[in-house]
């Protein structure tokens, strides 16, 4: 069984570049959207199941979307704070919106139809049943020489 989980997040590099530019300019670039760059994700096997746990603090269950399609698991989350406190004038507000997206390629032995997703205390836990894959069959090599037929 090959480990074929995709963990690269293209937005992480963009976020890091934005942080470097902010430090270089000594101020924040305008905007209230913040990408949550790769929260802690644990992937493990337990009791014959594949388990994926992702920490999504400050998100509510109705802000998290999980989708399995074509051997890929996609996790999306978006958190928006609509309320502003009276008497405050925000100079920078990073808590106004946080967006998270992550995609994983699922191993071939995962049964996608058995997916179960639970979200408790800021932790998303997705489990999949696993199935036995057919083992490779070793073929017996035959000689490349043709057998001569006896003439009668």
What are the pLDDT tens digits along the chain (152 aa)?
455 565 666 766 777 777 677 666 554 444 444 444 567 899 999 999 999 999 998 889 899 999 999 889 999 998 887 666 778 887 776 666 778 888 999 998 999 999 999 999 999 999 999 988 888 899 998 887 765 555 55
* pLDDT score, position 76: 92
For residue 116, give both structure tokens: 């179960």
Question: Does residue 21 lie within any of the structural domains?
Answer: no
pTM over 0.85: no
What is the pLDDT at residue 49?
Answer: 94
Asked if the structure places residue 73 within a domain, the reply is: yes
- Please choose, from the candidates 50, 48, 39, the residue with its C-alpha nearest in 3D space to the C-alpha of residue 4: 50
Q: Give the integer Cα–Cα distance in Å for 82 and 94.
A: 13
| Domain span holding position 112 | 36-81+94-132
31 within domain boundaries = no
Q: How many helices (H) and strands (E) does the chain have?
A: 1, 8
Residue 116 within any structural domain of the chain: yes
7 located within any domain = no
108 belongs to a structural domain:
yes
Residue 39's SS3 state is: coil
What is the signed CA dihedral for 126, 41, 131, 118, rounded to 10 degrees? -10
Cα separation, 94 vs 71, whole angstroms: 34
Is 55 within the bounds of a domain? yes
Question: Which pLDDT belongs to residue 32?
Answer: 43
* Cα distance from N-terminal residue to C-terminal residue, the chain: 55
Looking at the structure of the chain, the number of domains it has is 1
CATH of the domain at 51: 2.60.40.790
- Domain assignment present for residue 6? The answer is no
Other CB atoms closer than 10 Å to residue 102's CB: what's the count?
21
H or E element in which residue 18 lies: helix 10-25
């Amino acid at each position: 069984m090959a480990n074929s989980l995709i963990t690269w997040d293209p937005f992480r590099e963009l976020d890091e570049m934005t942080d470097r530019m902010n430090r270089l300019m000594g101020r924040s670039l305008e905007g209230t959207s913040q990408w949550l760059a790769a929260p802690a994700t644990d992937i493990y096997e337990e009791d014959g199941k594949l388990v994926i746990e992702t920490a999504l603090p400050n998100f509510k269950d109705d802000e998290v979307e999980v989708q399995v399609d074509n051997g890929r698991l996609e996790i999306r989350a978006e958190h928006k704070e609509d309320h502003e406190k009276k008497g405050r004038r925000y100079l920078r507000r990073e808590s106004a919106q946080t967006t998270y997206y992550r995609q994983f390629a699922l191993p071939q032995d995962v049964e996608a139809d058995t997916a179960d997703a639970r979200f408790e205390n800021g932790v998303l836990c997705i489990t999949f049943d696993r199935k036995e894959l057919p083992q490779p069959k070793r073929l017996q090599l035959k000689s490349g020489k043709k057998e001569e037929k006896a003439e009668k």
